[in-house]
Amino acid sequence: GRSPVVLGIESSCDETGAGLVRDGRLLGHAVASSMDEHARFGGVVPEIAARAHVHAATPVVRQALAEAGLSLGDIDAVAVTTGPGLSGALQVGVAAAKGIAYSLGVPLYGVHHLAGHVAADTLEHGPLPDPCVVLIVSGGHTSLLLVRDLARDPIVHLGDTLDDAAGECFDKVARVFGLPYPGGPAVDRAARDGDPRAVAFPRPMTGPRDDPYTFSFSGLKTAAARWAEGHRAAGRPLPVADGAASLQEAVADVLTRKAVAACVEHGVGTLVVVGGVAANSRVRALAEERCAAAGIALRVPPLRLCTDNGAMIAAVGDLLVRAGARPAPLDVSIDPSAPL
């Protein structure tokens, strides 16, 4: 018979996403964002995010179905992000997913948000090779992972950040530079007119005694703030483009250096870069350059699949269904600080 249609729902942060996947293929998806509502606060406000999910949950499911040319009754399984993320935000998506699964009498699967980011790439480039190294870089995460079979094997954490996430670093420095929120895209745009060698920002955690796969970005944030403050104190205008280009160069250098080292060290031939920061033009360019030099295949999903969405959660659900994984009970809880 026909392969099952899996609905995925994502609501861990400020994006409400719904996606439909069958047999590893994306049938349709829709995303609503409350980003604009958080802009004047300079970061995601949990209460506002949760309320926006209540507003958007049903409409995004309806839109995803319309895009796929399907109706509610065509859904054979529901997958939902149970964590990590903002607890109030997660609760809205999980409650919606339970309602749909219960009313349709179909199984429910709980999905780890990072597994979703990893699986996003399969919707564009097909099944992931086993093993592969995955660099997840977003506003909340900076992790290097060793991934085997997503549906069966636990994901191995090679390293994480000790403090700020890479996206958080972009967002915070952008604020100091007077650039709009979210900072990542703004820094990327500003950097186009700047010189990446203008400011010698540090390359944290790249010393001989530092762990090769552990990141740290709070020192970079402090260095950028000090650089900006120095200009202000001296009454000089801030060369924002140079600062943005130099910051971006430092972040891209550290991220790609460690990711490629992880591949070489573990004899892995494929690097996957996912998460919102994978959209960064310099991260992409440097990853391409260094992977090519090391003979490593690089996979980066398209922008719309890099940031939070429901399709990536449906992609994991689809893998779980096809692997015969056990569904979650309908009283499954959220896990805001879920480990991998």
Out of 280, 311, 313, 320, name the contact with ligand KG4 by CB under 6 A. 280
Query: What are the two backbone dihedrals, phi and then psi, of residue 140, each rounded to the nearest 5 degrees?
Result: -110, -15
For residue 166, give the nearest of 316, 278, 285 by alpha carbon: 278
Out of 185, 202, 269, 336, name the contact with ligand KG4 by CB under 6 A. 185
For residue 193, the Cα-to-chain-centroid distance in whole angstroms is 27
**170 scored as a contact of ligand KG4 (CB under 6 A):** yes
**138 scored as a contact of Zn ion (CB under 5 A):** yes
**335 scored as a contact of ligand KG4 (CB under 6 A):** no
CB of 239 to Zn ion, least distance (A): 32
Residue 317 has, within 13 A of its CA and on its CB side, a CA count of 37
Which residue, 141 or 290, is less far from ligand KG4 as judged by CB? Answer: 141
**140 scored as a contact of ligand KG4 (CB under 6 A):** yes
**242 scored as a contact of Zn ion (CB under 5 A):** no
| Tokens found for residue 302 | 């398209």
CB 122 within 8 A of CB 24: yes
User: Does the annotation list 136 as a binding residue?
Assistant: yes
Identify each DSSP E strand in 130-197 by its residue range: 132-137, 142-147, 156-159
Residue 135, CA distances (Å) to 103, 184, 215, 298, 339 in order: 38, 17, 12, 11, 16
CB of 143 to ligand KG4, least distance (A): 11
Which residue, 13 or 50, is less far from ligand KG4 as judged by CB? Answer: 13
Using CA atoms in the order 98, 103, 104, 106, what is the torsion angle rounded to 10 degrees? 40
Looking at this protein, which amino acid is placed at residue 74? D
H/E element holding 316?
helix 311-322
Stretch that binds ligand KG4, among 88-96, 165-173, 228-236, 262-270 (CB under 6 A): 165-173
User: Does the annotation list 130 as a binding residue?
Assistant: no
- Contacts with ligand KG4, 4-23, as mask; x by CB under 6 A: ---------x----------
User: Does the annotation list 280 as a binding residue?
Assistant: yes
* DSSP annotation string for 253-274: HHHHHHHHHHHHHTT--EEEEE
* Residue in the structure block whose two tokens are 């604009």: 36
CB 236 within 8 A of CB 269: no
User: Does the annotation list 137 as a binding residue?
Assistant: yes
User: Does the annotation list 140 as a binding residue?
Assistant: yes
Query: What are the two backbone dihedrals, phi and then psi, of residue 143, each rounded to the nearest 5 degrees?
Result: -135, 145
Out of 19, 84, 276, 317, name the contact with ligand KG4 by CB under 6 A. 276
**171 scored as a contact of Zn ion (CB under 5 A):** no
**121 scored as a contact of ligand KG4 (CB under 6 A):** no
Looking at this protein, which amino acid is placed at residue 205? M
**307 scored as a contact of ligand KG4 (CB under 6 A):** yes
Q: Which does 243 bind (CB under 5 to 8 A by kind): ligand KG4, Zn ion, none?
A: none
**308 scored as a contact of ligand KG4 (CB under 6 A):** yes
How many DSSP H helices and E strands does the chain contain?
A: 12, 10
Stretch that binds ligand KG4, among 2-10, 154-162, 164-172, 315-323 (CB under 6 A): 164-172
**132 scored as a contact of ligand KG4 (CB under 6 A):** no
Out of 196, 243, 275, 310, name the contact with ligand KG4 by CB under 6 A. 275
| Tokens found for residue 163 | 């403090």
**204 scored as a contact of ligand KG4 (CB under 6 A):** no
CB of 238 to ligand KG4, least distance (A): 19
3-state class of 340 per DSSP? coil
| Pairwise CA distance, residues 99 & 110, whole Å | 14
Out of 131, 139, 194, 196, name the contact with ligand KG4 by CB under 6 A. 139
- Footprint on this chain of ligand KG4 (rule: CB under 6 A): 13, 138-140, 167, 170-171, 182-185, 188, 275-277, 279-280, 307-308
Binding residues for Fe cation: 113, 117, 308
- Footprint on this chain of Zn ion (rule: CB under 5 A): 138, 308
